[in-house]
Structures are given as C-alpha cells and as structure tokens.
Amino acid sequence: MNARNGGLLLLAVALVVGSVWLGSRREGAEFTGSDGQAMAAVTTIQPDYQPWFGFIWEPPPEIASGLFALQAALGAGILGYYLGFKRGQAQGRRKHSDAGD
Amino acid sequence: MHIAEGFLPPLHAAAWTAAALPFVIVSAWRVNRLMRDQPQTKLLLAAAGAFAFVISALKLPSVTGSCSHATGTGLGAILFGPAVMALLGTIVLVFQALLLAHGGITTLGANVFSMAIVGPWIAYGVLRGAQGLNAPLAVSVFLAAMLGDLATYTMTAGQLALAFPDPASGIAGSFVKFLSVFAPTQLPLAVVEGLLTVVIVNFLREYSGDELQILKFPSPTVAVEARS
C-alpha cells in the first residue's frame, strides 16, 4: 500500500506542479480564482447587477491568509491525528499478538 | 463554486436556501443517529470532515492559469452515505462565509446545494454504479471523488445561469459561459481530488478495517441503514 500511495501522491504533486508550469506559460496568467472570474462573468451578462447584500465581515488580507491557514491546519491536524492513531493502534495490536505467541 | 455574497437575486437565494434546508436537517438527524448507534465511527467521521476542511481551503493552480479548489466531500459521501455530508459541508461553508468572506450568508443555500448535496450524491451514485460494473475499488473511488467534484462546479454554473440568463442566448448560453469559466480550471483539480481520495481509502483499508466493516464499505448498503 505504501508504495502505491506514494506513487499516487507523487502523481498528484506532479499534476499541481505541471499545472503551474503550463499555466504560467499562458498569456496573462495571474492565477486568479475561478470563483472571482465567474462573478466577473455575471457583470458581463448583466452589467447593471449590483450585489444586494455585502459581507458581514471581511478580514483584512493578512488576517484572511492566516484564517485560510487556520482552516487548512485544523483539517490537516484532525486528519493527521486520525491516520497516526489508526496506524499506532494497528502496530500495537501486532506487537501484542507477537508477544502472545 | 462559492457564489459570492449578494451575487444571487433575493428570490433565487431564498429558493436555494429552501431547497437545501431539508437536506441539512435530515443530515443533522443522520449524524446524530450515527453518533448514537455507531460511536466507533466518530473519529472517522471527524477525519472525513477534516479532509473536506483542508482540501477546500487549498486554492490550487490549474493549467488554465487560474486557481480553484477541490471540494473534498466525496470521501465522506462514499464512506458514510451522501446524506451525512450535507451537515459537514454546511459547517465548512459557514466557516468560510463568516470568517473568510468566501461565499456568503445569502448564497449559503445555493453553495450548500452544490457542494454539500449534489457533489456527495453524485460521488455516491458513481461509486455504486462503478462497483455494480465490477470496477476495481480504487477506480470506483477515483471516479466518484472526481465526478462529485465536477458535479459541484457544474451545479454552480447552472445556478448562476438560472439567475443570470444571457440576453441573447438565454439560460443555456449563460450555462455554457459559466461552465467554460469553471470546467477547464477544475478538471485537473478534480483529478487531484480523486487521487487523494484513493490514497485515504487505501490507508483506511489497511488500518481501519473495523470501522469500514461497521459502515459496510464498500458493499452496497447505505451505511446508516445497516444497523438492526
């Protein structure tokens, strides 16, 4: 499983890195978000559309990057805890059964 | 797939909220029952939610020279059944709407509908279909997560098209326009999401056999119905 998963992860990383490489060769590539581009497309279809409700709170850019990092860290932290816990549990079981032989 | 705050007319915003609400209520009830009946799977449920949390925070670059993010809701949908993901996806979207100015409260219903309802159901359906055709599990999981991701963005394009039909070519023309914004950027990212989901499922099959057995993964029963 380890070799196979390693290969899959490498492939995922290669896809992302390849995307940056290919993407940045394109004219005017600024890696803006596709969500933002879609909202811009709204205003090309209906130039007079005004968002009728604003954000309740919009974090300043520096704080926003911190909160994005916090979101990723919380997710990765819990996921990593689970994966480590299960691996340790399996190893403990194996050791236990070895000792019992 | 985040429709920004105020970017759906009030009537549309209200309609999508009304459409999403029953799914979220049923989802909360399901999660509650899962906690009570199969408490051994609590930690795995947290891990599936965490996967969606981390993966939807990462804005990844794409070949088109734009950025987008995966959704991460396919994993939980194939493990726990799609109904459970409505609540987990809503938690992610509320966090992003309130703290990150990403998405919005008025568009929460629409965003929940695409990311936490349509994506998971498509992922679950694809897994069942692929397993029915005797595809290898890794291939089924890959396709489920990838197509669930793409379905979410297709749904968003549809929601925007309904709200903003093109003056000349109507809803269909508008749908094509929005889809052409999302789809080319999303395709490689959906592949990445598919690969990562397979990695996690491989791990689970090695180390979490007991939980998968309780959830009857990947045999074709809805996990929560499996108790008796």
Q: Which domain holds residue A19?
A: 1-49
| Whether pLDDT at B228 is above 50 | no
Same domain as A68, residue A32 = no
Intervals of chain A under pLDDT 50: none
B3 falls within a domain: no
B149 falls within a domain: yes
Identity of residue B21: L
| Residues of chain B contacting residue A34, judged by C-beta atoms under 8 Å apart | 62, 66-68, 181-182, 185-186
The CA distance from B29 to B31, in Å, is 6
- Please give the tally of structural domains in chain A: 2
Task: Quick: pLDDT tens for B189-198.
Answer: 999 999 999 9
CB contact under 8 A, B57 and A75: yes
Minimal Cα–Cα distance from A65 to chain B, Å?
A: 9
B143 falls within a domain: yes
Rama region for A53: left / alpha / beta (φ>0; ψ in -120 to 50; rest)? beta
Q: In chain B, which residue ranges form alpha helices assigned H by DSSP? A: 10-37, 42-55, 73-80, 82-99, 108-112, 119-132, 137-163, 170-207, 209-214
CATH number of the structural domain spanning residue B25: 1.10.1760.20
For residue A2, what pLDDT is reported?
A: 85
Same domain as A27, residue A4 = yes
B4 falls within a domain: no
Which A-chain residues 47-66 have CB contacts (< 8 A) with chain B? 49, 51-59, 64
| Whether pLDDT at B174 is above 80 | yes
Highest-confidence segment of A32-36, B80-84, B223-227: B80-84
Same domain as A72, residue A34 = no
Q: Which residues of A64-93 are buried (b: 16+ CB within 10 A; e: fewer)?
A: eeebbeebbeebbebbeebbeebeeeeeee
Nearest chain B residue to A66, by CA:
B100
B142 falls within a domain: yes
Task: Quick: pLDDT tens for B41-58.
Answer: 999 999 999 999 999 888
**What ipTM goes with this model?**
0.90
B83 falls within a domain: yes
For residue A101, what pLDDT is reported?
A: 57
pLDDT band at B225 (very low <50, low <70, confident <90, very high): very low
Identity of residue A86: K
Task: Quick: pLDDT tens for B113-156.
Answer: 999 999 999 999 999 999 999 999 999 999 999 999 999 999 99
Q: Please state, in angstroms and as integers, the Cα–Cα distance from residue A58 to each residue in A82, B94, B161, B224, following that order.
A: 33, 14, 27, 39
β-pairing verdict for B66-68 and B60-61? antiparallel
Q: In B38-118, which residue ranges form alpha helices assigned H by DSSP? A: 42-55, 73-80, 82-99, 108-112
Same domain as A36, residue A64 = no
For residue B59, what pLDDT is reported?
A: 87
- Please give the tally of structural domains in chain B: 1
pTM over 0.80? The answer is yes
Q: Which domain holds residue B150?
A: 10-221
For residue B220, what pLDDT is reported?
A: 54
| Whether pLDDT at B221 is above 90 | no
